[in-house]
């Protein structure tokens, strides 16, 4: 009886500890990076990724959910910039490589945000991971991820996006 009570108590303690860990997001900082799509003349219906992934330290254990937040500062010619963000946990295939970028057809790519309207030269907050948070979790578990953008506005040219202060907030259970 004493051993059974001890096992129940240990099981209860383990459950409480694991539940507490799972509900507390862990934050992983990402390196600042730039996506320079100015070399791509026509981005209509295309998603542009850097050819090299964003790399970071892999978590000790696999994560279940991920949200990315941080800032983006756009630089472009034109009056408005409407973009949508995408991600891939592995190097996108079937894309054209242009000046260190992967230019991919939008079909088959996974969006990780709704559409944003950005102001030229203004640092603006972004949050990524809705929809398709699973692709972010897979990328984080792999230690690298390709982040891309679809430039939806036809009036913008020479687009460069500077990502800064990016943090991945993850839960493990």
| Domain boundaries along the sequence of the chain | 26-171
26-171: what fold? Jelly Rolls (2.60.120)
65: how many CB neighbours lie within 10 A of its CB?
Answer: 17
Q: How confident is the model at residue 19 (pLDDT cuts 50, 70, 90)?
A: very low
pTM score: 0.80
pLDDT tens-digit profile of 27-63?
877 778 888 888 887 777 899 998 999 887 777 788 8
């Amino acid at each position: 009886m004493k051993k059974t009570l001890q096992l129940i108590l240990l099981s209860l303690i383990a459950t409480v500890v694991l539940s507490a860990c799972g509900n507390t997001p862990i934050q992983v900082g990402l390196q600042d990076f730039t996506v320079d799509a100015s070399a791509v003349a026509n981005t209509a219906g295309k998603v542009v990724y850097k050819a090299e992934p964003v790399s970071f330290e892999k978590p000790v254990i696999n994560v279940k959910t991920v949200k990315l937040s941080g800032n983006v500062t756009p630089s472009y010619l034109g009056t408005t910039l409407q973009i949508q963000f995408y991600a891939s946990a592995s190097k996108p295939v079937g894309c054209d490589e242009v000046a260190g970028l992967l230019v991919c057809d939008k079909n088959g790519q996974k969006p990780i945000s709704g559409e944003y309207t950005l102001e030229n030269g203004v640092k603006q907050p972004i949050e990524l991971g809705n929809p398709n948070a699973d692709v972010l979790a897979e990328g984080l578990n792999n230690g690298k991820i390709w982040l891309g953008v679809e430039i939806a506005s036809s009036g913008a040219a020479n687009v460069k996006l500077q990502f800064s202060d990016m943090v991945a907030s993850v839960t493990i259970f």
